[in-house]
A and B are shown apart, each in its own frame.
Chain A
Amino acid sequence: MSHLSAENVSVAFAGLKALSAVDLQITPGRISGLIGPNGAGKTTLVNVLTGFQTPSEGAVKLDGEALIGLKPHQVRRRGIARTFQGGRLFRDLPVVDNLEVTGVGLGMSRRAAIAEAEAMLDWIGIASLSSRIAGTLPYTDERRVAIGRALMGRPAYILLDEPAAGMSGPESKELSALIRRIANDLGCGVLLIEHNVGLVLGLCEHIVVLDSGAIIEEGPPASIRDSEKVRHAYMGTAANTDLPVLEVME
């Protein structure tokens, strides 16, 4: 079966272990979750999976083929897309050009890339933003454009790094519906990295919990919700205001 996996991945920065022997598997059409308190190593793992960070130990494999050593653009061309915390849009370019860049990066002509970008914006439901300069968009729209940019060329996998950060309840619900469509309609394997644990519990079939660079728990949402280890990880590191709502968001 097709899958993207991190196998026994460790990352150390100047002697400090950011990740310790982490295993993770993402499969097409399935939404997996990656949660953990601040500094748990979630983004570091995303960086490893997408070629931005070379692990000290372990391997990243796509359908059994090792990806370590590939540059980020080469990883993307193999169908592994990602978004970033904060969007990182090309702020001076119009929205459609933001998506077009990915098409061009994947080898399409500009004409073909524009066409797919327009179609993708329409599919996401933000076609009206096409000609807006990306830097002028409200926060929520930035996130949706970033997802559209990552979906160009129909990647087999998409890694969403805190896509709901700063979103209101209704906005998170809209995002939740979009993520479901990405998995169900496009058949894309999704890894959702989120602080909004309710969103993750409501969407994901399988959840991995990281703390201090190591996996402390993994399994279906029910087992994560009831896990003392997970509660302890969050309560031990954050102020009360940062505690996640361990309730399912539908």
Chain B
Amino acid sequence: MSAVSSATETSLTGEVIAAKKQARFALARKTIVTPILLSLLLIAITLITVMTGSRPFNQTVIDVLVRVIFVVGLYIFIGNSGVLSFGHIGFTCLGAYAAAWLTINPIMKSSALPGLPDWLLQTRLIYWQAAILAALFAGVAALIFGKVLMRLSGIAASIATFAVLAMINTIYSNWDSVTGGTSSVVGIPIIRTIWPYLIGAVAAIFIAWAHAISRSGLALRAARDEPTAAAASGVDIPKERLVAFVVSGAVMGLGGALMAHSIGVVTPDTFYLSLTFITLSMLVVGGMGSLSGGVIGVVLLSALIQALRWMEGGVSLGDATFALPKGIQEIALGVIMIVILALRPSGLMGNREITLTRSNRNT
């Protein structure tokens, strides 16, 4: 810029240097309480589970922790960009199958999945190594899809993400020699201990927080609220959306890998419309605009789902057995989602984060 008065320049520069000193790490310090509190909530649930020693309860809480990863992964993209994605469970599918390819006994793989390349057939990794690679694989896939999708906006982008889900499901349902087609891929090592799932959920929460306080996270939220003004502020909206899409895709891949290790078997239909509906419901009910909303949505709706499952199985009341009809879980989720959308569109948390202070905006 030319002709800037030197007095004004000096004054502004001095103020900037002073403010920079104050700003160092201030943002992280101010906002880190949220992921810490959310992690403590999950740690508390996990500790109670371990203390009860109940195997069914242990599996239920593992399911909750895996769902936390899914919903936090969804939040990273949907919450920050405002673009509704129906395709993220596709990246979960990629992560789950990648984990299967990397951890199943090579002899089993050779007979069930003979189309895999030799190096992959011979590879057998520890589950956590496979989970990291599965996350990277899903992230790379998200980068490839996102390069095209992130140029779209609004309903066109949402429909395109659904097309991604349908494409992944179709490929994995029909590429028999590599994915086993619609048959179940079995032999994935089952991890019964709850701690890896807790670590995965806490890692997802901190990844989401780190993205939210990053330059990219701020720019993306601004673009979500006022895309025209954001572009006029120098924000490259497709690029910032792509960053969030890749990070969220990788987190979904991590969740998929851990889900595969929690149940020991994968099929393409496990990662399709039903799971998409459940994870989106949890995010909508908790609140799409905050990380806390995502986590709280999972905890509350998982508790509800568990209660409905229990009642579907039948509850004895004296001599009579009372049972809810099968499928009531999905109906209840749908009703709750509609009620929340009608009465509180920003979800239970209302775009606010859990903190210890009064200032709880999403930064």
Contacts and interface: CB of A to CB of B under 8 A. Distances in A.
A6 to B, nearest CB: 17
Given A97-B363, A101-B219, A186-B8, A156 B233 contact: no
Contact of A115 (B19, B214, B232, B235): B19
Interface string A67-81: 000011100110101
B234 A187 contact: no
Contact of A123 (B12, B213, B235, B351): B12
Interface in B205-247: 213-215, 218-219, 221-222, 225-226, 228-237
Interface string A39-62: 000000000001010000000000
Contacts of A79: 1
A187 B225 contact: no
Nearest to A50: B232
A94 B226 contact: no
B27 A114 contact: yes
Interface string B184-211: 0000000000000000000000000000
A105 B219 contact: yes
Contact of B1 (A28, A72, A114): A28
Contact of A122 (B15, B221, B232, B233): B15
Contact of B19 (A28, A92, A110, A114): A114
A120 to B, nearest CB: 8
User: Which of B213, B215, B228, B233 has the largest count of A CB atoms less than 10 A from its CB?
Assistant: B233
A206 interface: no
Q: Which of B213, B221, B234 has the most CB of A within 10 A?
A: B234
B240 to A, nearest CB: 9
Interface residues of B, number: 40
A218 interface: no
A71 to B, nearest CB: 7
Given A52-B228, A92-B225, A101-B222, A153 B234 contact: yes
A90 interface: yes
Contacts of B235: 73, 101, 104-105
A186 B233 contact: no
A159 to B, nearest CB: 10
A184 interface: yes
Nearest to B231: A72
Given A73-B237, A81-B232, A149-B233, A186 B4 contact: yes
B2 interface: yes
Contacts of B16: 112, 115-116, 119
B359 to A, nearest CB: 8
Contacts of B2: 2, 28-29, 156, 187
A154 B1 CA distance: 7
B20 A84 contact: no
A111 interface: yes
A87 to B, nearest CB: 9
B225 A91 contact: yes
Pairs A-B, 9 closest by C-beta atoms: A105-B234, A187-B3, A115-B19, A119-B15, A102-B233, A72-B231, A115-B20, A88-B229, A105-B235
9 contacts: A52-B231, A79-B1, A89-B229, A90-B221, A90-B230, A92-B225, A101-B218, A113-B215, A184-B5
Given A72-B231, A110-B218, 15 more contacts: A28-B2, A81-B232, A90-B221, A90-B226, A101-B219, A101-B233, A106-B234, A112-B16, A114-B20, A115-B16, A120-B12, A123-B11, A184-B5, A186-B1, A188-B1
Interface of A: 2, 28-29, 50, 52, 71-73, 76-77, 79, 81-82, 84, 88-94, 97-98, 100-102, 104-116, 118-120, 122-123, 133, 149-150, 152-156, 184-188
